[in-house]
Amino acid sequence: MELKEIFGSLPFGISSFEAVKHMLFECAAKKRLPENAKSIITVLFPYYLGEEYYENSNISRYAVSADYHITASEMLNKFTQKLKCLYPENSFEAFIDNSPLPEVFCAVNAGLGVFGKNRLFINEEYGSWVFLGEIVTDREFDIQNKEISLCSGCNKCIEACPTRALGENGVNKDLCLSHLSQKKGELSEEVIQKMAQYNCAWGCDICQKSCPMNKLAKVTPIKEFFETARPTVKAGDPVEGRAFAWRGQKTIDRNINAINYNNP
């Protein structure tokens, strides 16, 4: 069996663990890294559904389909099982988002696309509308770490950011609407106004929507993302299985009520 058969239509690439060894995040998942890790297989999970799905949406695109922490993790775990059968002498561990790996860097280093000024990974076919997952292994695959490629640098994302959170040095988390919409506690009037203006109760897509590299993005080949799509959320809708479930009912309801109050 070839690696391609394992991942089907999903793009994947391999980079060395050595390249990120000094960049690991401290998190609970770090202890799952295989001892003597050698290679990282990064897998892309495209999630763009087509503009028609987002016409009346009041949440960020990444949260429209069922929670990727569950759906993409399940796919990644199946790939990991197949790899374990193929190479029983090696260890394989899957990570997604809650990962000690700098995922954007891994995807760029594996040659899957470019590093955008919006600090996101951008693939030629699917744009930045992709989740990133990794399988780390002590198996030494034939690795050629790729040259780090950057986007065109047109600055459209920086100009479009409504809170000036984005700059040459990265994202200022304290100004980023994506972060602020996920924070507990009271929202400032200024943040509520911005969320209402862009009708987005969870996350923020503005720096991605403004990016020319996303203009011709292909829709996802993952059927489950279409089948589970729910682009609009009402206060009180159950949060189970949604990307905002980890934060609980109160936070998403707070955001929806704030937006509705300002956009009656």
Residue 166: which H helix or E strand, with range?
strand 166-167
Are the beta carbons of 180 and 133 closer than 8 angstroms? no
- Interface with ligand B12, residue 66, by CB under 6 A: no
- Interface with ligand B12, residue 205, by CB under 6 A: yes
- Which among 6-14, 184-192, 201-209, 215-223 is the span making contact with ligand B12, rule CB under 6 A? 201-209
Query: Which residues, in sequence order, are bridge partners of residue 15?
Result: 40
Q: Which of 97, 138, 174, 253 is catalytic?
A: 97
Are the beta carbons of 87 and 139 closer than 8 angstroms? yes
Count the residues in the chain.
Answer: 264
Are the beta carbons of 183 and 258 closer than 8 angstroms? no
> In the bound complex, what is the minimum distance in angstroms from residue 104's beta carbon to ligand SF4?
12
Q: Which of 17, 48, 79, 105 binds ligand B12 (CB under 6 A)?
A: 105
Alpha carbon of 182 to those of 53, 66, 71, 176: distances in Å? 23, 17, 21, 10
Does the annotation mark 97 as catalytic? yes
The count of chain residues that interact with ligand B12, using the rule CB under 6 A, is: 31
| Binding stretches for ligand SF4 (CB under 6 A) | 116-118, 151-157, 161, 163, 165-166, 171, 176-178, 204, 206-207, 210-213
Query: What are the tokens at 46?
Result: 């495209």
Q: Which of 41, 96, 136, 143 binds ligand B12 (CB under 6 A)?
A: 96
Give all strands (DSSP E) within 55-157, no chain letters: 92-96, 114-115, 121-122, 130-137
Give the CB-nearest residue to ligand B12.
203
Please state, in angstroms and rounded to a whole number, the distance separating the CA atoms of residues 156 and 123. Answer: 17
Q: Which does 211 bind (CB under 5 to 8 A by kind): ligand SF4, ligand B12, none?
A: ligand SF4
Between residues 49 and 177, which has the closer beta carbon with respect to ligand SF4? 177
* Contacting positions for ligand B12 (CB under 6 A): 60, 62, 96-97, 99, 101-105, 108, 115, 118-121, 128, 130-132, 148, 170-171, 173, 176, 178-179, 203-205, 207
